[in-house]
Amino acid sequence: MTGQNIIDKFYDLVDDDGTTADRSLELLNTAYDALMTERLWNFLRKEDSSIVLTGSTLSYNLPADFMYPVKVFRFNASNDAFTPMGIVPFNERMRVHKRSGIVYFDLAQAKLMLSATPSNQNISGEMAFLLYQYQPAQLTVATSPVFNRAFHSVVAYEMAKIFWYMDQQEKDRSFNREMQAEYDELKKKMIQWDSHLEFGINPTIHSIDDSWVPGELMAGGISSPWY
């Protein structure tokens, strides 16, 4: 489905085609962004290998589409080996000051940070491989969501939910109980599909391991062996 197809479905769901084109596109992307950021989706995982660890440099630019970290490795070309690096939350960075093999993310500055210089770690010249969840570009009326087409309609349902909260139309017209059930079922199937991308076709697996996520990205935080 294109952005326009999703908007048209949204009109059908809320029984209202009086919303302006600009307002509809705004709702479309508000819904799309909410959906793309609410979970650690496997289909949004991406790799960046543009960083070369150099001398006394501690900070490195993150990709422009960076959203959530997944894992960080350093690569030594001389022995063709990858070594995982530990990730700590930003607010715990002082505990690991000058410790080797550890990174954190300064999201306000859009930087990947090392706790110790590459020279002091004897890794200068190695590459950093950053695995991360990217933020897809916003939709236009001619483009489509980046996930499988079977679940594109979920964006229209998300739009309908936001529309009711923003515009306070009569709920039975804009987002009723039946619509909620349809939304919940479609969302559940989308999550199962996403989980199967990484874990194969085992239908008993419905979630991913979020244990690597820095504490500020998870309610309640996590424990980490790195600090």
Per-residue pLDDT of 36-77, as tens digits, reads: 998 889 999 999 999 999 999 999 999 999 999 999 999 999
Q: State whether 32 and 143 are in the same domain.
A: yes
Q: State whether 112 and 146 are in the same domain.
A: no
Q: Stretch 157-180: mean pLDDT, rounded?
A: 69
Q: State whether 114 and 36 are in the same domain.
A: no
Q: Is residue 226 part of a domain?
A: no
Q: State whether 126 and 95 are in the same domain.
A: yes
Does 201 have pLDDT greater than 50? no
pLDDT class of 27 with cuts at 50, 70, 90: very high
CA–CA gap between residue 88 and residue 95 (Å, rounded): 9
Last residue of a domain, one of 134, 154, 185: 134
Percent of the chain past pLDDT 90, that is, above it, reads: 65
Q: State whether 83 and 118 are in the same domain.
A: yes
Q: Is residue 37 part of a domain?
A: yes
**Reduced 3-state DSSP string for 162-178:** HHHHHHCCCHHHHCCHH
CA–CA gap between residue 126 and residue 76 (Å, rounded): 5
Q: State whether 33 and 141 are in the same domain.
A: yes
**Residues whose CB falls within 8 Å of the CB of residue 208, separated by 6 or more in sequence, listed in order:** 40, 42, 195, 198, 199
In this structure, the number of other CB atoms found within 10 A of the CB of residue 178 comes to: 9
Last residue of a domain, one of 100, 134, 168: 134
Last residue of a domain, one of 134, 152, 180: 134
Decide: 42 and 197 in contact? Cβ < 8 Å: yes
Q: Is residue 84 part of a domain?
A: yes
Q: Is residue 101 part of a domain?
A: yes
* Average pLDDT score, the chain: 85
Q: Is the full-model pTM beyond 0.85?
A: no
Q: In the chain, at which residue ranges do the beta strands (DSSP E only) sit?
A: 45-52, 59-61, 66-76, 81-87, 102-106, 111-114, 127-134
Q: Is residue 106 part of a domain?
A: yes
Q: State whether 54 and 27 are in the same domain.
A: no
Backbone φ, ψ for residue 21 (5° rounding): -60, -40
**Three-class SS of residue 113?**
strand
How many domains is the chain built from? 2
CA–CA gap between residue 224 and residue 87 (Å, rounded): 9
Q: State whether 66 and 49 are in the same domain.
A: yes
Q: State whether 98 and 125 are in the same domain.
A: yes
What amino acid is encoded at 21 in this protein?
A: A
Q: Is residue 81 part of a domain?
A: yes
The pLDDT, as a whole number, for residue 184 is 85
The pLDDT, as a whole number, for residue 120 is 97
Q: State whether 150 and 190 are in the same domain.
A: yes
**Residues whose CB falls within 8 Å of the CB of residue 118, separated by 6 or more in sequence, listed in order:** 53, 54, 55, 56, 57, 124, 125, 126
Q: Is residue 219 part of a domain?
A: no
Q: Is residue 51 part of a domain?
A: yes
Q: State whether 17 and 32 are in the same domain.
A: yes
Q: Which domain holds residue 124?
A: 44-134
Q: State whether 80 and 109 are in the same domain.
A: yes
CA–CA gap between residue 112 and residue 100 (Å, rounded): 15
